[in-house]
């Protein structure tokens, strides 16, 4: 039973739902629900499912709404739509809008239903294979690029490591199916910041108020960052997340309902980073996020006291430049004695960073340097 592909069947007519279970139970593990709201909650709570088979006409939430939301919650799950002949035009619309793999007309002969579900599972497995390739190749390349850019512009990219960690933890709690997209979006969300003057980057880094021109520039940054990724294949979801998220909380943004779940998660991660940069306590951070009407309450609710366990620098220590090791994390900004930023708080010490420091006189670097050991950070 455990090795069978898992299907989620949704139909408000319980007799038909029972018939689908009987037809499909030999090849699949079938979970049946009789309404759209329960279907979406089941996707979140009990996923992953290889496919979701949903009836078109249901009271409350019809198949169009269910499958469109299912695409956001579980993008890899293959979506199938059951419809009557009278709903054919509507079915075509939901195929286009909800990314539906196939629609079946009712009554659907059992052999046709089984074959469609088998093909849906094959499509699901194909997507998983493609995702694995994506995660092990593209993500690795992106992480390398971000590390290089962080060396060249720590003010622009020094924040990426912190945002990635927060966004990843939030996605794991709220919507694990999109964790990869959220992580990559967090790393690349500041790509356009490399064009900002140092003065503006310093203001953003210190969470200082911006003038109207600076706010306008920051507001345009997400769209610019997303545009820079157009030439990279298979990052459509990442570009969508970045394009719909503002650069900082000082910029007016749409309410959470107008954003995708990935954008909502990254938006909360950005607001959290700003609160922590302002050195607010965990309770104060939670209160600040809860007070913002522009943040999604569901994502904000994931930032509880347990979320902060291990985030505060409880195991920090002071070291000198020559004592820095690969794998350590900076618990405070690393600057020259003249105040020039070399690396930002939260960045992980890499071989490239150590090589860069070797080209700078250690006497010109502010010491001691506050760090967190890598194994302590990773364990937390």
pTM of the entire structure? 0.64
Query: What is the DSSP code (8-state) at residue 335?
Result: E
Joined together, the tokens standing for residue 96 give 């286009």
- The pLDDT score that the predictor gives to residue 329 is 86
Q: What percent of the chain has pLDDT over 90?
A: 32
- Model confidence over 248-286: pLDDT tens digits? 555 555 555 667 889 999 999 999 988 887 778 889 999
> Token pair for residue 205?
């880094």
Average per-residue pLDDT for the chain: 84
Helical residues (DSSP H) of 228-303, grouped into ranges: 236-243, 261-277, 282-290, 297-301
Q: Which residue has the higher pLDDT, 87 or 71?
A: 71
User: Percentage of residues in the chain with pLDDT exceeding 70?
Assistant: 89
- CATH annotation of 153-311: 1.10.3210.10
Q: pLDDT by residue (tens digit) across 353-371?
A: 898 888 888 889 999 999 9
Q: Which of 29-38, 204-213, 286-295 has the least mean pLDDT?
A: 204-213
pLDDT tens readout for residues 76-102: 899 999 887 555 566 565 565 557 888
The model's pLDDT over 114-128, given as tens digits with 9 standing for 90+, comes to 999 999 999 999 988
Confidence grade of residue 380 (pLDDT, cut at 50, 70, 90): very low
Residue 314 has a pLDDT of: 52
The CATH class of 6-126 is alpha beta
Average of per-residue pLDDT across 224-229: 87
* Topology (CATH level 3) of domain 313-380: Molybdopterin biosynthesis moea protein, domain 2 (3.90.105)
Residues 6+ apart with CB under 8 A from 268: 170, 289, 295, 296, 299, 300, 303
Residues shown for the chain: 380
Provide the pLDDT confidence category of residue 3 given band limits of 50, 70 and 90: confident
Give me the pLDDT at residue 169, please: 93
Between CA 213 and CA 198 the distance in angstroms is 15
pLDDT digits (tens, 9 = 90+) for 318-356: 999 999 999 888 888 899 999 888 888 888 888 888 988
Contacts of residue 111, defined as CB under 8 A and 6 or more positions apart, other chains included, come to none
Question: Where exactly are the structural domains of the chain?
Answer: 6-126, 153-311, 313-380
Kindly report, residue by residue over 143-176, the tens digit of the pLDDT. 788 877 777 788 777 778 888 889 999 999 998 8
**What pLDDT score does 264 carry?**
92
More confident residue, 207 or 257: 207
Asked if the model's pLDDT at residue 1 lies above 70, the reply is no
Containing 78, the helix (H) or strand (E) segment is: strand 78-83
pLDDT for res 120: 95
How confident is residue 178, by pLDDT bands cut at 50, 70 and 90? confident
Sign of CA dihedral 63, 68, 73, 75: positive
Give me the pLDDT at residue 366, please: 93
């Amino acid at each position: 039973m455990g090795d069978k592909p898992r299907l989620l069947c949704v139909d408000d007519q319980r007799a038909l739902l029972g018939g689908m279970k009987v037809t499909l139970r030999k090849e699949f593990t079938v979970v049946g629900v009789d309404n759209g709201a329960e279907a979406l909650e089941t996707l979140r709570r009990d996923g992953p499912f290889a496919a979701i088979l949903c009836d078109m006409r249901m009271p409350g939430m019809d198949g169009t709404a269910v499958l469109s939301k299912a695409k956001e919650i579980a993008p890899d799950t293959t979506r199938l739509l059951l419809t009557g002949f009278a709903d054919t035009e509507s079915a075509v619309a939901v195929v286009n809008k909800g990314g539906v793999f196939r629609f079946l007309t009712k009554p659907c002969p059992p052999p046709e239903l089984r074959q469609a579900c088998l093909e849906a599972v094959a499509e699901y497995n194909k997507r998983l294979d493609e995702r694995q390739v994506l995660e092990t190749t593209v993500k690795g390349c992106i992480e390398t690029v971000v590390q290089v850019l962080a060396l060249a512009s720590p003010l622009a990219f020094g924040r990426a490591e912190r945002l990635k960690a927060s966004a990843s933890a939030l996605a794991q709690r709220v919507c694990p199916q999109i964790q990869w997209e959220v992580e990559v979006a967090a790393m690349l969300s500041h790509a356009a910041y490399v064009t900002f003057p140092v003065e503006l980057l310093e203001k953003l880094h210190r969470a200082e108020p911006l003038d109207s021109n600076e706010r306008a520039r920051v507001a345009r940054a997400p769209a610019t960052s997303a545009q820079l990724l157009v030439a990279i294949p298979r990052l459509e979801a990442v570009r969508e997340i970045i394009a719909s998220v503002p650069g900082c909380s000082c910029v007016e943004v749409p309410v959470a309902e107008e954003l995708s779940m990935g954008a909502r998660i990254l938006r909360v991660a950005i607001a959290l980073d700003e609160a922590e940069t302002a050195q607010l306590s965990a309770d104060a951070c939670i209160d600040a996020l809860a007070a913002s009407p522009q943040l999604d309450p569901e994502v904000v609710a994931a930032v509880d006291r347990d979320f902060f366990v291990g985030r505060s620098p409880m195991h920090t220590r002071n070291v000198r430049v020559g004592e820095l090791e690969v794998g350590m994390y900076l618990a405070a900004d690393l600057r020259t004695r003249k105040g020039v930023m070399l690396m930002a708080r939260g960045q992980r010490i890499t071989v490239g960073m150590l090589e860069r420091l070797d080209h700078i006189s250690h006497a010109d670097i502010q010491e001691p340097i506050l760090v967190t050991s890598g194994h302590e950070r990773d364990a937390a």
